Structure 1
Amino acid sequence: MRSPSLLSLALLLLAAVVCNAQDFDFFYFVLQWPGSYCDTRQSCCYPTSGKPPADFGIHGLWPNYNDGSYPSNCDPDSPFDESKISDLIGRMRTNWPTLACPSNDGVKFWGHEWEKHGTCAESILDEHSYFQTALNLKNQLNLLQTLQNAGIEPDGGYYSLSSIKEAIKEGTGYTPFIECNVDESRNSQLYQVYFCVDTSGSQLIECPVFPRGRCDSRIEFPAF
């Protein structure tokens, strides 16, 4: 077998660099309502640190492409290292809690988010910056207060989907995508809210594309 030429090796190296380039077009920043996560047939488990606050929690900060596809698991050589976010753990437990069963401390959830999504933005945000950026975005949006300012309360009542979108657009300046799930009675409920963020992670933008999904015209905002 002929040995590869220097040119062939150079082309292979260039291809590897291109394949590993962590380019993407924007982030989805996704906030989740814990009352809707728990109000399903599957139910939920509170983390070992106790019941989270009755507030939207972070689900993730996800690199995305303008065509709706997304990169994932971009760097297997960059596993999650809890020690790198040791100064953020208190904020993470409050703002990025896990509700998965069995009850746990959230480290597995955070590790999944970093390894699947965060490593695809690693050239821009290292592990600490990735989590800190998401925490700062949540504070900036203050989503629950925005809804409450419009009279939309997590009290088990039903609100029109359009009024929820309008309240968020009015309060944040940006159009959200609303994802619904269903409770045990198959009622549609406010589950997750998607915002779009530029590739630096610092600036909210209008979404180039929304995920697929639908909600009823009136949806429940369950208590937690």
Structure 2
Amino acid sequence: MQFKSLVFLHLFSLQCLSYICLVQSHDFFFVVQMWPGSYCDTKRVSCCYRAAGKPTDFTIHGLWPHFNNNSIPQDCNRKNPFNKAKVSDLTTKLEKTWPTFKCGRKSSSAKFWSHEWTKHGTCSEDVLDQHAYFKAALNIKDKVNLLEILKNAGIQPDGKFYKLDDIKEAIKAGTGYNPVIECNTDASGNIQLYQVYLCVDSAGSSLIECPVTLKRDTSIELPML
């Protein structure tokens, strides 16, 4: 089946601050799940599927350390590069749930994981080493099945429009916590659901209520798979 777009209203623009960590510490994580159809169904990107094939679920974009002052540490330790051998036992699951959709011979899921580790993971390495960092994201994904949560609330990836409040309430009912929704625009100019942000404690293990407030708006469409 061909992905179309999960459409929602543009809710916020999350700006990342360039930050050099003198001490690797953070207050919490954002765990970010992405709807692949909304990534692929835009004018700006080409989209390719890897060995695991076309996904039929939300995928992981990242596990991002964050501070309570709403700043984001980045690139904290380039002396600790990504080593695929350290996550070899997780590779099959990572390929399925944390793939890249970028095209080109130089693009690969491992390159995406390397980017995420270098930019974000190294800023939490006082708590999570490489294996623990990727394992934590996979564990949270297992706990939070966004597609099932939305379907249980009667919200289907069927190309219809749904109220933003209904989607947020469904996710809160399914997880116990308020999500932050990010949207983008498809090739036809429709606003679509792109990513769902939930907050996780500083150990990367349990969902928490987000300590920061991000800008949001109010309305959405949900595309077909």
TM-score by length of 2: 0.87
Counterpart in 2 of 1:203? 206
Distance in 1 of aligned mates of 2:21 and 2:60: 29
Alignment match, 1:108: 111
- Comparing 41-50 with 21-30, greater Cα deviation is found at 41-50
Give the structure 2 partner of residue 222 of structure 1. 223
Which residue in the other structure is 1:11 paired with?
Answer: none
2:79 aligns with: 77
Q: Shift in Å at residue 210 of structure 1?
A: 3.5
Partner of 2:16: none
Query: Greater helix percent: which structure?
Result: 1
2:34 to 12, 32, 35: 32
Bigger-Rg structure (1/2): 1
TM-score (norm 1): 0.87
> Do the aligned partners of 1:157 and 1:222 also contact (CA within 8 Å) in 2?
yes
Deviates most, 68-77 or 42-51: 42-51
User: 2 CA distance for matches of 1:87 and 1:47?
Assistant: 22
Distance 2:76 2:21 in 1: 9
Name the residue aligned to 1:138. 141
Q: Give 1:50 shift.
A: 4.6
Match of 1:150 in 2: 153
| Higher RCO, 1 vs 2 (CA within 8 Å, ≥6 residues apart) | 2
The equivalent of 2:47 in structure 1 is: 45
Gaps of 5+ in 1: 1-17
Query: 1:52: how far off?
Result: 3.1
Measured in 2, the distance between the counterparts of 1:73 and 1:58 equals 20
Work out whether 1:171 is the aligned partner of 2:174. Answer: yes
* 5+ residue gaps, structure 2: 1-19
Aligned partners of 2:33 and 2:197 also within 8 Å: yes
CA contact (8 A) 2:74 2:120 kept: yes
Letter in 1 for 2:197: Y
